Amino acid sequence: MNGTEVKPSVAPGVRLGHVSFVWRPWVALITLLLVAATFLVFCLSIGVGDFPIGLPRVAATIFGRGERVDEFVIMDLRMPRALAGLVVGVALGVSGAITQSIARNPLASPDILGITGGAGAVAVFLVTVSGGAATAVVDAVGLSAAALAGGLGTGLLVYFLAWRRGLDGFRLILIGISVSAVMEAITTWLLASADIRDVARAQAWLIGSLDDRSWEEVRVALWCSLVLLAVVTCVAFQFKPMQLGDDVAAGLGVRYTMVRAVLLLCAVLLAGVAVSAAGPVPFVALVAPQVAMRMARCPTPPMVASGMVGALLLIGADLVARTALPVDLPVGVVTAAIGGPFLVYLLVRANRG
Amino acid sequence: MGLGTLVVILVITGAVSLAVGARALSPAEVWHGLFGGPDADQRLTEIRLIVRTVRVPRTVLAIVAGIALGVGGALIQGYTRNPIADTGLLGVNSGASFAVVTVIAVFGLANPFQYVWFAFLGAAVAGVVVFGLASIGRGAGNPLTLALAGQGITVFLAAMTTAVSLSDKAALNALRFWNAGSPAGVGFDVIWPVSAFIAAGLVLALITLPALNLLNLGDDVARALGVNIALSRTIGIAAITLLAGAATAACGPIAFLGLMVAHVARYLTGPDYRWLVPYAGLLGAIVLLLCDIVGRLVVRPGELDAGVLVALLGAPFFAVLVWRGKFKSV
């Protein structure tokens, strides 16, 4: 020791009653910026269209101070689509962050919890196998609802198959991968043996889309995801110690089996909400947490920031798909085309130091 | 289970594969078909034709591709140190699919024989791009960067593939059959070159196995023990790209096979890659061949593609082993 004092790099803790967290200015700043950016893109997405509306007027109308004309165009016509993008993006981002944290694997995403595979297989089955019971089901409840039921059923199947004296992250993802592989094989087989016109319809559904959303659909998705996010917020405070390992978490008084089970159930249901509102939009849940993690410079995927990156990606991609591209592409394609390279860019930049 | 047992099982399965199909053949007929000379008898000539132009090529390809995917699956899990990495992770499958839909949409190629080489090219380019991106700068070839860069490129190529196939019906039509994955319907004019690439990949794989063992102790330990990390990673990734790329080009994407057999092999042998990799290769060949045989029998007179059956039959079996706690992480 020659007199130079090494400053500890520990971030200060904050305690408010029973709640305590670590104050990281950079994470907070990035999260705030992401929220602001999401709101901006959200307003932009509403403002752009055949009848363009300026940003201030959009913002004013959202807060209930707009004119009658604007109110009709914004609240009745464009809001459902933008709100669907927001809800789906946040749900997928948070769901992905939970899955990757619990599995402690950056390649994990809710896709491997079975939701996407199950919903896809059911939807493709209903589209390609016409006649009889399949048509009756589609007429009765609609394609999206039937697919959602299939997805949730598969997700819960994975969840219970993986349960053996508690929920182990590694076992869960391997079981999830196997069940998803079965569902994808069924989808592939159905597509290969179906009529080509049905295949095009099925393919369009499989990639996910925000077109023609109605207020009813969006409202249900919005409330469901709000409830789920509230649950996640309550449990998430117990989640941090778990990333140090089960033994440490148990030593710190965390009931890790319960916390993990609740969080995973929330991840499954959030992914289900997203499927119900937009179809199985691929890759958002995988890319968003990794991007958020690198922007916020966190060791694990940050929940709020992941949700915001997911929403930004989805609304932004929808905006690009509607305005900048000459051909009409579903939002899922554009999301992947933007999200994939952006992740690679972040990796390369990090490598260069 | 020893390596010898696996070889015996593979030989028996291969023999069954020659006999089973739309027209079942007796062992004597198979023997004649393989080794018999030209015949005056109409029936025997027909049998010879079936065995030599249908059964033998598809059996050989199933074995070769199965070995390639099994070995590739074990290697990719080793090099990315990730137990859920599959052979498609380096962008190989999505690169091949993208190449297939693009050449169909742009050049209007309709015959699978014409796009095998484009598929291989697509797979190779995707593999090289992923590895190149992951090797830029300081964290060169770091397993996490490699896995995520692969995922990013895969995502991008999959989106492009969907975009093309949504706008071109012929491409979509070809893609849905290509995606099912099957060793059937490919002649020796394709199988020989593909096998040469796979053989090259296997040689590279065998060269790096001792280094791969050390790499799994961590980069620092490996470096201290004298491993040239960058070199052995480059060779390893080149091997995976060759193996998975060639197999995918010939059969179409066969998902889950590499991941599954790598875990089963790890359960049988423990973590030593010098044993694990040969086991994974033989298991891959056996599973793909068995699935191809079952596919010929279940939906007669049609056939179910082996790629579909690998997941339908393999996944439940795999899930039971997972549930019983047989597998360990990498």
Distance CA B94, CA A66 (A): 48
| Secondary structure (3-state) at A16 | strand
How many whole angstroms separate alpha carbon B174 and alpha carbon B180?
10
Distance CA B226, CA A198 (A): 58
Position with higher pLDDT, A159 vs B138: A159
Q: Kindly indicate the confidence band of residue A5, based on its pLDDT and cuts at 50, 70 and 90.
A: low
| A147-194 confidence digits (pLDDT tens) | 888 888 998 888 888 887 777 778 888 888 889 889 989 998 898 888
- The predicted pLDDT at position B137 comes to 63
A272-289: pLDDT as tens digits: 888 888 888 878 888 899
Residues 6+ apart with CB under 8 A from B67: B198, B202, B281, B282, B284, B285
CA–CA distance, B158 with B296 (Å, rounded to integer): 30
Q: Closest partner residue to A337 among B142, B154, B160, by Cβ?
A: B160
Helices then strands, counting H and E runs in chain A, come out as 15, 2
Q: What pLDDT was estimated at residue A105?
A: 82
Please indicate if any CB of chain B lies within 8 Å of the CB of A166. Answer: no
Residue A237 has pLDDT above 50, yes or no: yes
Over 90: is that where the pLDDT of B136 sits?
no
Crossing angle of helices A79-103 and A25-47, rounded to 10°: 150
Q: Does residue A350 surpass a pLDDT of 80?
A: no
Q: Which of A164, A346, A347, A349 to mutate to test the interface with B (most CBs of B within 10 A)?
A: A347
Cα(B89)–Cα(B151) distance, rounded to whole angstroms? 6
If we measure between CA atoms, which residue out of B329, B266, B252 comes closest to residue B84?
Answer: B329
Interface of A with B in 34-63 (CB under 8 A): none
- CB half-sphere exposure, A93, CA atoms < 13 A: 31
Q: Which of residues 61-80 of A touch B (CB under 8 A)?
A: none
- Tell me if A170 and B153 make a contact (CB, 8 A cut-off): no
Unique residue bearing structure tokens 């029998």: B297
Q: Which of B69, B80, B166 to mutate to test the interface with A (most CBs of A within 10 A)?
A: B166
pLDDT bucket at A3, cuts 50 / 70 / 90: very low
Of B309, B189, B302, B212, nearest to B255 by C-alpha is B309
Total residues belonging to chain A? 353
Rounded CA-CA distance A312/A34 in Å is 8
pLDDT of res. A1: 40
| Residues within 8 A of B (CB atoms), A 104-143 only | 105-108, 112
B65 contact partners, CB below 8 Å, separation of at least 6: B183, B194, B198, B247, B250, B251, B254, B288
ipTM: 0.83
* φ and ψ at residue B135, rounded to 5 degrees: -100, 0
pLDDT tens for each residue of B175-230: 888 888 888 888 888 899 899 999 999 999 999 999 999 988 888 888 899 888 88
Q: Which amino acid makes up residue A330?
A: P
For residue A265, give the amino acid letter.
L
A334-337: list long-range contacts, CB under 8 Å, 24+ apart.
Answer: A334/B159, A335/A281, A335/A282, A335/A283, A335/A284, A335/B159, A336/A282, A336/A283, A336/B155, A336/B156, A336/B158, A336/B159, A336/B162, A337/B156, A337/B159, A337/B160, A337/B163
pLDDT at A9 (0 to 100): 55
Give the pair of three-digit tokens for residue A344. Answer: 């690679």
Mind listing the domains of chain B with CATH numbers?
3-323 (1.10.3470.10)
Q: What is the pLDDT of residues B90-109, one digit of tens each?
A: 888 899 989 988 888 888 77
- Inter-residue contact A114 to A273 (CB < 8 Å): no
A184 close to B (CB below 8 A): yes
Contact B156 A353 (CB under 8 A): no
Asked if A326 reaches chain B (Cβ–Cβ under 8 Å), the answer is no
Going by their DSSP bridges, the two strands A13-16 and A19-22 should be labelled as antiparallel
Please enumerate in sequence order all residues whose Cβ is within 8 A of that of B318, keeping only pairs 6 or more positions apart, or say none.
A174, A178, B260, B263, B264
Residue keyed to tokens 């199965």 = B66
Three-state SS at B328: coil
Contact flag B133-A174 (C-beta cutoff 8 Å)? no
Does B15 have pLDDT greater than 50? yes
Domains defined along chain A, listed by start = 27-352 (1.10.3470.10)
Question: CA angle at residue B261 from B259 to B266, to 5 degrees?
Answer: 100
Q: How far apart are CA B115 and CA B100, in angstroms?
A: 6
Task: Please state, in angstroms and rounded to a whole number, the distance separating the CA atoms of residues A204 and B205.
Answer: 40
CB contact under 8 A, B256 and A192: no
The answer to whether the beta carbons of residues A127 and A309 sit under 8 Å apart is: no
Cβ neighbours of A287 in B, within 8 Å: 152, 155
What number is the average pLDDT over the span A207-233?
86
pLDDT greater than 70 at residue A52: yes
Please answer whether residues A151 and A86 qualify as being in contact, where contact means their C-beta atoms are separated by less than 8 angstroms. Answer: no
Q: Compute the radius of gyration of chain A from its Cα atoms.
A: 21
For residues B313 and B304, give the distance between their C-alpha atoms in angstroms, rounded to a whole number. 12
The answer to whether the CB atoms of B159 and A290 lie below 8 A apart is no
Contact residues on chain B for A185, CB-CB shorter than 8 A: 307-312, 315
Q: Find out whether B40 and B29 touch, Cβ atoms under 8 Å.
A: no
Q: Which residues of A touch B159 (CB under 8 A)?
A: 283, 332-337, 340
A175 touches B at CB < 8 Å: yes
- Minimal CA–CA distance to A74: which of A40, A45, A38, A39? A45
Q: Do A164 and B159 touch (CB under 8 A)?
A: no
List the one residue out of B65, B99, B77, B122 whose CA is nearest residue B244: B65
Helix, strand or coil for residue A164? coil
Most confident listed range (A164-168, A277-281, B10-14, B249-253):
B10-14
Q: Which residue has the tokens 């969907």?
A: B162
Percent of chain B whose pLDDT exceeds 90: 34
Q: Which of A118, A314, A142, A284 is nearest to A214 (CA)?
A: A142
B323/A175 Cβ within 8 A: yes
Phi, psi of B159 (to 5 degrees): -65, -45
Q: How many CB atoms lie within 10 A of CB A290?
A: 27
- The β-bridge partners of A15 are A20
Are the CB atoms for A91 and A271 separated by under 8 Å? Answer: yes
Q: Which amino acid is at B168?
A: D
Alpha helices in A299-330 (DSSP H): 303-323
Query: What is residue B305's three-state secondary structure?
Result: coil
With cut-offs at 50, 70 and 90, classify the pLDDT of residue B112: low
Q: H-type helices in chain B, by residue range? A: 3-19, 27-35, 42-50, 56-80, 92-107, 112-134, 143-167, 169-180, 188-215, 219-224, 229-251, 257-269, 273-298, 306-323
Nearest-10 crossing angle of helices B169-180, B143-167:
130
Look up the pTM and report it. Answer: 0.85
Q: Which helix (H) or strand (E) covers residue A15, if one does?
A: strand A13-16
CB contact under 8 A, B133 and A286: no
pLDDT value, residue A2: 46
Instruction: Give CA–CA dist A231/A249, Å, rounded.
Output: 20
The 10 Å Cβ neighbour count of residue A327 is 8
